[in-house]
Amino acid sequence: MTQTKFNELVQIVKRLRVECPWDREQTNDSIKSATIEEAYEVVEAIDKKDFEDLKKELGDLLLHVVFHTVIAEEQNHFTIDDVIETIKEKLIRRHPHVFGETSVNGSEEVKRNWEKIKLEEGRESILDGVPPYLPALQRAHRLQEKAAKVGFDWTDKADVWKKVIEEIQEMHEIDEQKKNSVSKEEADKLSKKLEEEVGDVFFALVNYSRFLGVNPEEALRFTNNKFIKRFQYIESKLKENGKSVTDSNLEEMDKYWNESKNNKLT
C-alpha cells in the first residue's frame, strides 16, 4: 500500500508538470529556497511537539524531494528509483556493523567509522559535506564535530572556557583601539578586525557549547523564541493602555519585560 501511495504521488507531480502552468515553469533552482523553508517548518513542528503538523510538513518536504527528482528526470539526469537506490547503497555501505562483519563499541566508534568511510568514498577533506549554506552557527558546530571525530579536539573543558574568555578579551581590546583610532583608514581596518574577533568569540562559544552537550543552534532558537514571546508581552500590555512601543520609553518597556520574566514566558 505504501509503495502504491508513493507512486501515486510521483504520478501527481508528473501530471502537474504537464497541466499546471506554475508547476511547469519551476526548476531545481527556482524551488530550492522553498525546500529549505519546508525543512525548517518540519523542525518547527518537532519543536512544538505537534505531530499533526509534523505529518503535514513531512508531506510538504517529501513533495519537494519528488518535485526535484521529476525535474531532473525530465532532463535525463536521474530518476526517483536512482535516488532511492543511491540512499539504500549509502546506508548499507556506511553501516558495516549492521550489514557487514565490522564490530563496534558504542555510537562514538560508529561516528568515527562513518567519517572514515566517507573519505574512502572520495572526499578529500574530513570537513567536506558540511554545506556552506547552513546557518553559520550550525555550520561551526558541524565543522567542530567533524574535526573532533578524528581527534582534533580539546581534551579539557576548562581550557575551552579559557579560550572563550581569551577571545572576548581580544574582541574588547580591538573595540577599545577602534574608539581611540585617529584616522578613518585606521578605524576601517579595525572594524574589519573587530568583525573577525566577534566571529572568533562565536566560534569559541560554539565549541564550549559542544563540550556542555548543548546544540548552539537549538539553544539560540529557543532564546529567540523566548525573546519574541517576552517582547510581544510588552506590546500587548502597552496596547491595553492605548499605547504602542513607539509611544513608550525604555523604563516602561523594562517594567513589562520583567513582568514577562516573572510570568515565566519562555
What are phi and psi for residue 150, nearest 5 degrees? -105, 15
User: Where is average pLDDT lowest: 63-67, 128-132, 142-146, 257-261?
Assistant: 128-132
Query: What confidence score (pLDDT) does residue 149 get?
Result: 85
Polymer length in residues for the chain: 266
Q: Determine the Cα–Cα distance for residues 88 and 81; give it in Å rounded to an integer.
A: 10
For the chain, the distance separating the N- and C-terminal CA atoms, rounded to the nearest angstrom, is: 43
Grid cell 576601517 in the structure block, residue: 188
Q: Determine the Cα–Cα distance for residues 192 and 197; give it in Å rounded to an integer.
A: 9
The rounded percent of the chain whose pLDDT value lies above 70 is 99
pLDDT (average), residues 171-181: 93
Q: Determine the Cα–Cα distance for residues 127 and 224; give it in Å rounded to an integer.
A: 29
Longest alpha-carbon distance in the chain: 74
Neighbours of 155 (CB within 10 A): 7
Long-range CB contact pairs, 247-250, < 8 A, 24+: none
Reported as a single tens digit per residue, the pLDDT across 99-153 is 988 888 888 788 878 778 877 887 888 898 888 888 899 999 999 998 998 889 9
Taking each helix axis from N to C end, the angle separating 136-149 and 184-212, rounded to the nearest 10 degrees, works out to 60
DSSP code of residue 265: -
Reported as a single tens digit per residue, the pLDDT across 14-57 is 999 999 999 999 999 999 989 999 999 999 999 889 999 999 99
Reported as a single tens digit per residue, the pLDDT across 218-236 is 999 999 999 999 999 999 9
pLDDT (average), residues 238-260: 91
pLDDT at 156 over 70: yes
pLDDT at 244 over 70: yes
Query: What confidence score (pLDDT) does residue 112 get?
Result: 79
Q: What's the pTM value of the predicted model, to 2 decimals?
A: 0.71
Reported as a single tens digit per residue, the pLDDT across 194-221 is 999 999 999 999 999 999 999 999 999 9
For the chain, give the mean pLDDT.
92
Which stretches within 20-50 are classed as H helix? 21-25, 28-48
Residue 134, helix vs strand vs coil? coil
